C-alpha cells in the first residue's frame, strides 16, 4: 500500500505487514498450522486417506470484475470461483492462500471491506485462510487465490470418464450471470426490478453448489464447473471423455428472470448458453446414480436437472437440439471453439 | 493475451487456453494428478507421514522486478523466492501453482521465455507445475506462485523456538542482492566488472539453499529466510521466540564483491544488513547441532556461518556489535521496525 515502493526496497513494506496483521491474520486464526500468518509458510497435515485437490484462479479489476464493484463481493466471488472448481471435482473445501496486489493509494477501508467479504464466506463454507502475500501495484487490483480441498484418495472426479448412456445434468440454472453482467453494465433493460436484481446478484455473487460437490465422488463419471459457458464446458467434457453429448435445449434449467429476458427479446439464447460465469456443476452419471445424486442435491438445497445424454461414439462434440429435435448452431461457444 | 478481454466475456479466452497448452502444460507433464492442465484442478496424494508446507509470494513488474528484466530470470526468481521459504521451514519442494496476468499485447515469445526459465528451474530443483491460471491485465505483469513442500509430520521449523545459548547462523553471504540491484539500476559504480556482475546476478537470480533446508528438521530450533533484510528478519525470529539476539558484525559472511563495494565507499554497511532480497536461511541451533548442520551444509555445497547467539531473556531485540563490541544502530531495519 506504500506509494514509495519500487525495486530497491525489501519485498515487503511496513505498511504491508500492518495490513496483513489487521485484516488478514484474523482470517487465519482458526486454521491449525498457520501461526497467525507470522511465519514464512503454513504446515497442514492432510487427513489419512485423503488426496488434496488444488486449484488457482486469478481475477483482475477491469478484466474479471468492475473496478467499482463492492470489494466484499469481489472477495466472495474470488473465493467462490475457486470453490466451484473444488466442488465440481467432488472435493470439500479445506482452506486457501491469497495474493492481493493493491493499487497505490487504496484506502485501508477498501482492504477492510474486502476482508469482511472473505470472513463472511469463511463462515458460510467452513474454511479458513492458510497464507499468502500482500503487495502494492501501479496497476489495477489483482487477486489470485489457491484453494485446497479434500477428496477420498483416488476419488477426484475428472472431466474425462463420461460414458455412452450417461445422463448429462447441471446444478442450478444457466445464464443468470451472463445476463446479470449486462444488467450491471446497463445494457439489458426492460425487466421487472426483481428479475433485474436477481440477475445482477447472480453475476456478482455466484452460488456454487459447494455442499453438493462431495456427493459426486464415486457416482458421477465426469464433472466440471460451468464457467466458460455451458456449451464450451460440455465441449471440454466431450473432448476429455471422447464422446458426443446431446443436450435438449428445452430441458436446460432457466430461472424466471432469464425466461423473462428471453421472452421480451432483451436477451438471446446464445448468451445464456455461452455467456459463462455460471459456477454451476455439469456432470454425467449412469441413470441410477443420477437418481441418487438428484436426491443428494435436494438434501443440500441444490436443484439438479437432466439436460441430455452421452450419445456414444463419434467425433467429440456437443449437439444442442431445439424443441423439435433440430440441431442448433452457436456462432461462438463461450469464446472457445470445440 | 487477447486485447479484447473485458467483463462481459467468459473468464478465459481462446488465446489463454492456447498459451496454457503451448507453454505451461509441458511444465506439468511429469507431475501425477495434473492431467495435462486440462482439468479444473490437480489431485495430489501426500506421502504418508508428511505434512505439506505451503507458501505464496507475488511479484509485480515495477515493484519487485524491473519491467525489462529477462522473463526467464523473472520466472526463476518467482520460483526461488518461494522455494527459499520452503527451505527455511525444512521442507523439500514438491510442486507449485502459478497465476500469471500478462499486459495486453505481450508477445508470445515473452511468455515462452518465461516458461523456459521455469523449465530450467524445475530440472534444477526436481519439481513440477501443478496448475494455475493465465489471464490478461491492463496493468503490469503480475505473478503469483503457491509452492508446496513436504516435511516429516510435525517437523516444520518455525520462527519461534530459538533458545538462550543457541548459535545464530546464516547460509551463504549477505548483502549481495541489495547491492546488485544498485548495479542493475546504475547507482553503484567503481567496482571491477567481475564484482559488479556477481552482485547483479545475486539480485536477478537468488540461490536459496534448497538442498540444505531439510537438514534443519529436528536440528534447528528456529529458522526463516532472509528476504526483508538480515536485521529485520532476525527481528522476526527474536519476537516470535521471545529472545534477544546478539550478532557480531565481523562474523556476518560477506562476499568479496560486497567487501570491495564497502571498502571503496561505494556502499554502506546498513544497505548490506537491511537491504533484503538475500534468500538465504537464518537459523538458531544448539552448539552441537550447529556443528552437524555445518557438515550437512558443506555436503550440499552451502556455506554456513555462525554470526552470533541467542542471548536469553530481555525484551525481544536484535543487537549488532561492531569489532570492538559496541552496539551499532540502524536507522531502518529492512523497512520493518522491530
- Predicted pLDDT of residue B336: 37
- Model confidence over B14-54: pLDDT tens digits? 788 888 999 999 999 999 899 888 888 999 998 889 999 99
Nearest Cβ partner of A138 from B9, B62, B99?
B62
- Predicted pLDDT of residue B338: 28
Pick out the residues of the known binding site of B for ATP: 132-133, 159, 227
Q: Is the pLDDT of residue B300 over 60?
A: yes
Q: How far is B163 from chain A (nearest CA, A)?
A: 17
A184 in the same domain as A116: no
Q: Which residues of B touch A9 (CB under 8 A)?
A: 276, 335
- Predicted pLDDT of residue A118: 98
If phi over 0 gives left and psi between -120 and 50 gives alpha, with beta otherwise, what is residue B269?
Answer: alpha
Of A108, A124, A152, the residue at which a domain comes to its end is A152
- Predicted pLDDT of residue B3: 32
Q: What's chain B's average pLDDT?
A: 92
Query: Residue B203: inside a domain, yes or no?
Result: yes
Nearest Cα residue to B137 out of B97, B100, B87: B100
Query: Residue A1: inside a domain, yes or no?
Result: no
What proportion of chain A, given as a percentage, has pLDDT over 70?
94
A322 in the same domain as A268: yes
- Predicted pLDDT of residue B7: 58
CB contact under 8 A, B13 and A335: yes
Pick out the residues of the known binding site of A for substrate: 64, 277, 335
A171 in the same domain as A146: no
Nearest Cα residue to B278 out of B333, B210, B229: B229
Nearest-by-CA chain B residue for A78:
B11
Residue B129: give its domain's CATH number: 3.30.1330.10
Q: What is the mean pLDDT of residues A105-113?
A: 95
Cβ proximity of A258 and A132 under 8 Å: no
CB contact under 8 A, B60 and A142: yes
- Predicted pLDDT of residue A37: 87
CB contact under 8 A, A144 and B133: yes
Nearest-by-CA chain A residue for B16:
A336
Q: How many CB atoms lie within 10 A of CB B290?
A: 20
ipTM of the complex model? 0.91
Cβ proximity of B19 and B98 under 8 Å: no
Nearest-by-CA chain B residue for A338:
B14
Nearest Cβ partner of B153 from A45, A181, A240?
A45
Nearest Cα residue to A122 out of A220, A28, A208: A28
A vs B, Cβ pairs < 8 A, gives 281
Nearest Cα residue to A27 out of A89, A78, A97: A97
Please give the residue that has the higher pLDDT: either A3 or A59.
Answer: A59
Q: What is the mean pLDDT of residues B138-166?
A: 97
Query: Residue B310: inside a domain, yes or no?
Result: yes
Q: What is the mean pLDDT of residues B289-318?
A: 94
Q: Is the pLDDT of residue B1 over 50?
A: no
Q: Is the pLDDT of residue A5 over 50?
A: no
Q: Is the pLDDT of residue A253 over 70?
A: yes
Nearest-by-CA chain B residue for A36:
B240
Q: Quick one: cell of A31? A: 486454521
A146 in the same domain as A37: yes
Burial B179-191 (b: 16+ CB within 10 A, else e): bbbbbbeeebeeb
Q: How many CB atoms lie within 10 A of CB A84?
A: 28
Nearest Cβ partner of A7 from B64, B131, B135?
B64
Of A152, A185, A205, the residue at which a domain comes to its end is A152
A203 burial class (0-12, 13-18, 19+ CB within 10 angstroms)?
Answer: buried
CA distance B87 to B279: 10
Q: What is the mean pLDDT of residues B298-313?
A: 94
Confidence of residue B312 (pLDDT cuts 50, 70, 90): confident
A140 in the same domain as A212: no
- Predicted pLDDT of residue B189: 86
B310 in the same domain as B177: yes
Query: Residue A253: inside a domain, yes or no?
Result: yes
Q: Is the pLDDT of residue B319 over 50?
A: yes
- Predicted pLDDT of residue A2: 34
How far, in Å, are A62, A181, A233 from residue B7 at the CA level?
A: 7, 8, 19
Give the residue carrying C-alpha cell 563490541.
B325
Cβ proximity of B65 and B59 under 8 Å: yes
Query: Residue A65: inside a domain, yes or no?
Result: yes
Give the torsion sign (CA, A319, A320, A322, A323).
positive
CB contact under 8 A, B142 and A139: yes
- Model confidence over B258-270: pLDDT tens digits? 999 999 999 999 9
Q: Is the pLDDT of residue B334 over 50?
A: no
Domain housing B211? 167-328
CB contact under 8 A, A336 and B14: yes
Nearest Cα residue to B250 out of B278, B235, B272, B234: B272
CB contact under 8 A, B60 and A33: no
Q: Is the pLDDT of residue B190 over 60?
A: yes
A30 in the same domain as A89: yes
CB contact under 8 A, A228 and B136: no
Of B120, B152, B184, the residue at which a domain comes to its end is B152
Which residues, in sequence order, are CB contacts of A31 under 8 Å at separation 6+?
A: A42, A95, A128, A129, A130
Nearest-by-CA chain A residue for B152:
A45
Q: Which of A16, A39, A151, A204 to mutate to test the interface with B (most CBs of B within 10 A)?
A: A39
Query: Residue A338: inside a domain, yes or no?
Result: no
Q: Which residues of A touch B276 (CB under 8 A)?
A: 9-11
Confidence of residue B91 (pLDDT cuts 50, 70, 90): very high
Confidence of residue A208 (pLDDT cuts 50, 70, 90): very high
B212 in the same domain as B248: yes
- Predicted pLDDT of residue A139: 96
Q: Quick one: cell of A335? A: 469464446
CB contact under 8 A, B142 and A138: no
Q: Which residues of A touch B144 (CB under 8 A)?
A: 58, 99, 133, 144
A135 in the same domain as A62: yes
Cβ proximity of B94 and B149 under 8 Å: yes
Query: Residue B251: inside a domain, yes or no?
Result: yes
Residue A252: give its domain's CATH number: 3.90.650.10
Q: Is the pLDDT of residue A8 over 70?
A: no
Which residues, in sequence order, are CB contacts of A290 under 8 Å at separation 6+?
A: A167, A169, A306
Please give the residue that has the higher pLDDT: either A59 or A4.
Answer: A59
DSSP string over B228-296: S-HHHHHHHHHHHHT-EEEEEGGGS---HHHHHHHHTTSS-HHHHHH-----EEEEEE-HHHHHHHHHH
Q: What's chain A's average pLDDT?
A: 92
- Model confidence over B207-216: pLDDT tens digits? 999 999 999 9
CA distance A49 to A60: 36
Q: Is the pLDDT of residue B292 over 50?
A: yes
User: For B319, phi and psi rounded to 5 degrees?
Assistant: -115, 125
Q: Is the pLDDT of residue A145 over 70?
A: yes
- Predicted pLDDT of residue B17: 83
Mapped onto helix, strand or coil, the DSSP state of residue B30 is coil
Q: Which of A58, A97, A278 to mutate to test the interface with B (most CBs of B within 10 A)?
A: A58
CA distance A147 to A166: 30
A173 in the same domain as A57: no
Q: Is the pLDDT of residue A161 over 50?
A: yes
Nearest Cα residue to A160 out of B128, B206, B40: B40
Nearest Cα residue to A283 out of A158, A176, A164, A175: A158
A91 in the same domain as A196: no
Number of domains in chain A: 2
B310 in the same domain as B179: yes
CB contact under 8 A, B52 and A35: no
Q: Which of B17, B43, B62, B74 to mutate to test the interface with A (most CBs of A within 10 A)?
A: B43
- Model confidence over B127-147: pLDDT tens digits? 999 999 999 999 999 999 999
CA distance B30 to B28: 6
Mapped onto helix, strand or coil, the DSSP state of residue A165 is coil
Confidence of residue A112 (pLDDT cuts 50, 70, 90): very high
CB contact under 8 A, B139 and A135: no
Query: Residue A202: inside a domain, yes or no?
Result: yes
Amino acid at each position: 500500500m506504500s506509494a514509495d515502493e519500487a525495486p530497491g526496497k525489501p519485498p515487503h513494506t511496513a505498511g504491508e505487514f500492518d495490513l496483513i496483521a489487521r485484516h488478514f491474520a484474523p482470517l487465519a486464526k482458526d486454521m491449525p498450522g498457520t501461526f497467525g500468518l507470522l511465519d514464512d509458510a503454513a504446515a497442514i497435515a492432510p487427513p489419512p486417506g485423503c488426496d488434496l485437490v488444488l486449484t488457482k484462479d486469478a481475477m483482475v479489476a477491469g478484466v474479471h470484475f468492475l473496478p467499482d464493484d463492492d470489494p466484499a463481493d469481489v472477495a466472495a466471488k474470488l473465493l467462490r470461483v475457486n470453490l466451484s472448481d473444488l466442488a465440481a471435482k467432488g472435493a470439500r473445501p479445506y482452506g486457501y492462500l491469497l495474493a492481493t496486489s493493491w493499487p497505490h493509494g487504496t484506502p485501508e477501508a477498501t482492504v477492510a471491506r474486502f476482508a469482511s467479504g472473505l470472513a463472511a464466506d469463511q463462515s458460510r463454507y467452513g474454511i479458513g485462510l492458510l497464507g499468502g502475500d500482500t503487495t502494492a501495484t501501479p496497476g489495477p487490483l489483482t487477486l489470485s487465490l489457491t484453494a485446497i480441498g479434500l477428496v477420498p484418495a483416488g476419488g477426484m472426479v475428472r472431466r474425462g470418464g463420461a460414458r455412452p448412456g450417461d445422463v448429462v445434468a447441471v446444478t442450478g440454472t444457466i445464464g443468470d450471470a451472463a445476463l446479470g453482467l449486462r444488467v450491471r453494465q446497463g445494457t439489458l433493460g426492460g425487466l421487472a426490478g426483481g428479475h433485474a436484481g436477481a440477475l445482477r446478484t447472480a453475476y456478482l455473487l455466484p452460488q456454487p453448489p459447494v455442499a453438493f460437490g462431495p456427493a459426486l465422488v464415486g457416482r458421477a463419471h465426469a464433472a466440471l464447473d460451468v464457467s466458460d459457458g455451458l456449451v464450451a464446458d460440455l465441449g471440454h467434457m466431450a473432448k476429455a471423455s471422447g464422446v458426443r453429448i446431446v443436450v435438449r435445449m428445452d430441458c436446460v434449467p432457466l430461472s424466471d428472470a432469464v425466461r423473462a429476458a428471453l421472452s421480451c427479446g432483451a436477451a438471446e439464447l446464445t448468451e445464456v448458453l455461452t455467456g459463462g460465469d455460471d459456477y454451476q456443476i455439469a456432470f454425467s452419471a449412469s441413470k441410477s446414480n443420477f437418481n441418487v445424486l438428484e436426491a443428494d442435491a435436494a438434501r443440500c438445497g441444490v436443484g439438479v436437472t437432466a439436460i441430455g445424454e452421452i450419445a456414444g461414439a463419434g467425433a467429440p462434440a456437443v449437439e444442442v437440439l431445439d424443441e423439435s429435435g433440430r440441431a442448433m448452431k452457436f456462432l461462438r461457444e463461450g469464446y472457445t471453439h470445440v
